[in-house]
Amino acid sequence: MDDPTPLTLFTLDPSGVVLTIRGNLPPLRGQSSIGKGIFDLLEHHRLDQYREIFQRALVGANISTTIETEYGLYDLHLLPAHGPDGTLTGVHGIAHDANERRRFETALRQSEEHYRSMIATLAEGVTVVDADGMVLAANEAAQRILGIPLEELVGRSIDYFAIRAINEEGAPFPPDELPIAKTFRTGQSQANVVMGFQRSDGELTWVSVNTQPVWGADPERPEAVVSSFLDITGRKRDAETLRRSEQRTRKLLEAIPDLMLIVSADGTFLDYQANSDNQLLIPRERVIGSGIWDLPLPDELKHVGLRAVRRALATGEPQTMEYSFEAIEGYYEARFTALDDEQVLVLVRDISERKRAEFELQRRINVLAALQKVDDDLTKSLDMDYALVVALDTAVTMSGASAGFVAVLEGDEIRYERTTPGYPSLKDERSRRVLSSGLFARALASRETVLVDDVQLEPGHEPLRPDTRAMLLLPLVSHETLVGLLGLENDRVGAFRNQTEFMELLAARIAVALDNARLYQVTRQQLGELQALYTQVKELEQLKTHMIRVAAHDLRNPLGVIAGYLTLLEGELGQDEKYRRYFETMNRAVRRMEQMTSDVLSLERIHAVQTKALELYDLRAAIQRAEADFSHEIEAKGLRLQLHVPAHPVVVEVDPVQIYEALTNLLSNAIKYTLSGGSITLSLWVENGRAVLDVADTGIGIPENQQGQLFQPFFRVKTLQTQAIDGTGLGLYLVKSIVERHHGTVRFHSVEGQGSTFGFELPLFEPVGNR
């Protein structure tokens, strides 16, 4: 079998029989195909397609087509053959193997699709521009970066981009300098050309452009240029932000007052940044390359600085040193921080202000400590002499005065004084005259400190000491009251300069101390007067008590005699209606006087007995006793008595005699002011840890406008109904005195015409273990 060749030539007669054949391309296989019909050789399932093609050729048509067989693709060309007379004698055919071409075309198409896919997915924009400057093709990235739809981008002239392009300085980009135009002009590729493009939406986009020429038949000029460009707007913005940040940092560094140095391990200065003050004391141009040893510093300070550099490198921990010396003014702090294994950053800062503040703070602390000690010394005693001694000694010592005085005033006169040894007394005639004029008078009148460097230059001033030159006069003012004057003198001119602030603070404390001592003296004097007055009053009170006791006691005997003789006379003459009314009136008067003397003696007894031992007393027993003692009187008046008493004990710690007396006073008043047919109720209960006892009646009641005077001694309710009722006005006062002496409270409620309720509350007894 012959090897197939890519080309077969054959001739068919008008009926389609193979006449000649050259080549061995299946299915026409050389000489074996001669004499056979063409339709017999071809595939039967495609016979109709083939028959149509050959029949068209057999009728005189030129055919060029590609057919598909079981052996692959063939390019088929059929030409009609004519005889001398022009009649159709057959068909000449050429069959060419098209499989290789198809495979090449497929591969080429796939390669083109692959590259198109790659270009489409690139983050870079890509355009192809022809020699006329028109965009032939572009990818989606180009559309996105330039902000132009793809259909509008393709076919657009590069002139559109030229008028919207700017360089990095913000100036318009020259059209001839555009990367694409330059590549067309020079034939050279362009790389990383940065330009800005003003998009149609107004946004400025920065791109980095690269171009590559595409050569054709003309060796002098590219037929196209491929341009790729990357959106660097974000990078450009970041770079601008970084540039501005660096600029701000640089400005900040220039504004920082600190001196900054980078120093090597051997002390050489590698870099230098300082403000206008050259804290190194050497010219700025000589700093780099010089070292610590070149500084005009004491050798010891240089050694300390170099040790700090090496320690910072060795430990990795910051080192700090402070220094000051005569060549410079002020104080400085140097901080050493290792940047790496070989370099140290040194920051030198002027800390003079901080040091001055620290010194001032320490001075104030010392002042406060001294003032605290003065306060402690001055407050140890309120004795005036002690206060004067401490005040003057402290002031003289702290001010360094040669002499001085302190005076306490009372009005315009000096009441108390203290002077240093040898200083004239302030109370003699000359001193009083001098103190009323000159600097002394000015200080007292203005209540302001007077500081004089040299009194001998002060016109109109007469010193108390001839050697005095400097003087400091401090008015002593407490609570806006002029207490006195502190005077300090020195034999040296200007001795009290810069001491005014502290001495004024000291004077304020001395003023308070002396004022307190003065008030203490006044208080002691007033206390003595009060004690003498109290003694007198006490003696008068004892005399009054004695006279009341004697009078009340001595009245009982005459009243007893009168009562006895009234009884005898009433027995003899009482049958006569005329005399019986006289006897009743005299008996009521006697009983009233007896009641009054009894109440007075009870009050006196209550006030006198203050330390009697108290007893535990069940208030139920007091009620039961009162019921028994007053039952006959209650029945005689036609009244009803009701009791509300708890079953359990109600124990209080009291004087039983006095408490029962208080109860009987309340019960007696209820009987006295309740009309026949009325009722009286005695109630006892416990509430909030207190025993409550009430006596309620349905009597005549008390007018509201008179209730505020109840419990006052000798007060009696004044109404038409009470005029005929005897009483002393001491009963309720007696009850209140008894109850309050037992830490209790009285209680009452009354409505005129309906009745009254009087009672009291007493603390319940609580055993020690329960308290």
- CATH assignment of 351-608, given 3.30.540.10, 3.30.450.40, 3.50.50.60, 3.30.420.140? 3.30.450.40
For residue 413, the model assigns a pLDDT of 84
Fold classified for 122-239: Beta-Lactamase (3.30.450)
For residue 89, the model assigns a pLDDT of 85
For residue 770, the model assigns a pLDDT of 57
Rounded Cα distance between 85 and 87, Å, is 6
* Buried residues in 66-77 as b, exposed as e (16+ CB within 10 A): ebebeeebbbbe
Contact between residue 439 and residue 450 where contact means Cβ atoms under 8 Å apart: yes
Read off the pLDDT band of 427 (50, 70, 90): confident
DSSP string, 351-413: -HHHHHHHHHHHHHHHHHHHHHHHHHHHTT---HHHHHHHHHHHHHHHHT-SEEEEEEEETTE
Angle at 398 between CA 394 and CA 403, to 5 degrees: 75
Q: Which of 390, 394, 373, 372 is nearest to 382 (CA)?
A: 390
If residue 450 lies in a helix (H) or strand (E), which one and from where to where?
strand 450-452
For residue 113, the model assigns a pLDDT of 65
Backbone φ and ψ for 441, nearest 5 degrees, come out as -65, -35
- CA 416 to chain centroid, in Å, comes to 54
More confident residue, 561 or 717: 717
DSSP string, 559-605: HHHHHHHHHHHHHHHTTSHHHHHHHHHHHHHHHHHHHHHHHHHHHHH
CA 194 vs CA 125, 153, 167, 200, 233: distances in Å: 14, 21, 7, 19, 10
371 has a pLDDT exceeding 90 = no
More confident residue, 423 or 118: 423
Query: What dotted CATH number matches 609-768?
Result: 3.30.565.10
Read off the pLDDT band of 338 (50, 70, 90): very high
For residue 591, the model assigns a pLDDT of 67
300 has a pLDDT exceeding 50 = yes
Which residues have a Cβ under 8 Å from the Cβ of 291 and sit 6 or more positions away? 263, 266, 267, 268, 269
603-631 pLDDT per residue, tens: 566 655 554 678 999 999 999 999 998 89
Contact between residue 639 and residue 680 where contact means Cβ atoms under 8 Å apart: yes
Q: Which of 754, 592, 584, 561 is nearest to 675 (CA)?
A: 754
Out of 163-172, 502-511, 579-588, pick the least confident: 579-588
Task: Judge residue 44's burial from the number of C-beta atoms within 10 Å of its C-beta, 0-12 exposed, 13-18 middle, 19 or more buried.
Answer: exposed
Read off the pLDDT band of 691 (50, 70, 90): very high
754: three-class secondary structure by DSSP: coil
374-414 pLDDT per residue, tens: 778 877 888 888 888 988 998 898 888 999 999 998 887 88
Max mean pLDDT among 84-98, 210-224, 250-264, 523-537 falls in 210-224
Max mean pLDDT among 66-80, 82-96, 333-347, 532-546 falls in 333-347
203-242 pLDDT per residue, tens: 899 999 999 999 888 888 899 999 999 988 888 888 888 8
Angle at 627 between CA 622 and CA 633, to 5 degrees: 135
SS3 content of the chain, % helix, strand, coil (to 5): 45, 25, 30
Residues in the chain: 771
The beta-carbon contacts of 610-615 under 8 Å, at least 24 apart in sequence, are: 610/741, 612/655, 614/653, 614/654, 614/655, 614/742, 615/653, 615/654, 615/655, 615/656
Contact between residue 22 and residue 34 where contact means Cβ atoms under 8 Å apart: no
More confident residue, 458 or 550: 458
Adjacent-strand bridge partners of 79:
92
β-pairing, 640-644 vs 679-687, is parallel
The CATH class for the domain spanning 256-350 reads: alpha beta
Share of the chain above pLDDT 90, in %: 24
157-181 pLDDT per residue, tens: 888 888 889 988 889 988 888 999 9
Helix axis angle, 352-378 to 384-399, nearest 10°: 160
Max mean pLDDT among 246-255, 547-556, 676-685 falls in 676-685
Contact between residue 700 and residue 722 where contact means Cβ atoms under 8 Å apart: yes
As given in the structure block, the two tokens for residue 138 are 């572009």
1 has a pLDDT exceeding 50 = no
Contact between residue 620 and residue 693 where contact means Cβ atoms under 8 Å apart: no
Sheet (strand 63-69) strand order = 18-22, 7-12, 88-97, 72-82, 63-69
Amino acid sitting at position 359: F
As given in the structure block, the two tokens for residue 760 are 């009291």
Contact between residue 406 and residue 418 where contact means Cβ atoms under 8 Å apart: yes
For residue 749, the model assigns a pLDDT of 92
pTM over 0.95: no
Q: What is the mean pLDDT of the chain?
A: 82
Mean predicted confidence (pLDDT) in 317-322: 91
As given in the structure block, the two tokens for residue 586 are 């005299």
If residue 443 lies in a helix (H) or strand (E), which one and from where to where?
helix 438-446
Q: Which of 480, 477, 436 is nearest to 460 (CA)?
A: 436
756 has a pLDDT exceeding 90 = yes
Contact between residue 711 and residue 704 where contact means Cβ atoms under 8 Å apart: no
Sheet (strand 470-478) strand order = 413-419, 403-410, 481-490, 470-478, 450-452
Rounded Cα distance between 166 and 156, Å, is 19
DSSP string, 560-573: HHHHHHHHHHHHHH
Sheet (strand 125-130) strand order = 135-138, 125-130, 224-231, 204-214, 190-198, 165-166
Rounded Cα distance between 471 and 465, Å, is 11
Rounded Cα distance between 302 and 304, Å, is 5
9 has a pLDDT exceeding 70 = yes
547-572 pLDDT per residue, tens: 565 555 555 567 666 767 677 776 66
Helix ranges restricted to H, 272-351: 299-315
End-to-end Cα distance, the chain: 136
Mean predicted confidence (pLDDT) in 110-134: 74
- CA 208 to chain centroid, in Å, comes to 52
Domain extents for the chain?
Answer: 7-104, 122-239, 256-350, 351-608, 609-768
More confident residue, 501 or 119: 501
Fold classified for 7-104: Beta-Lactamase (3.30.450)
Same fold, 7-104 and 256-350: yes
Read off the pLDDT band of 3 (50, 70, 90): very low
Mean predicted confidence (pLDDT) in 33-48: 76
Task: Judge residue 222's burial from the number of C-beta atoms within 10 Å of its C-beta, 0-12 exposed, 13-18 middle, 19 or more buried.
Answer: buried
As given in the structure block, the two tokens for residue 764 are 């319940």
Widest distance between CA atoms in the chain: 212
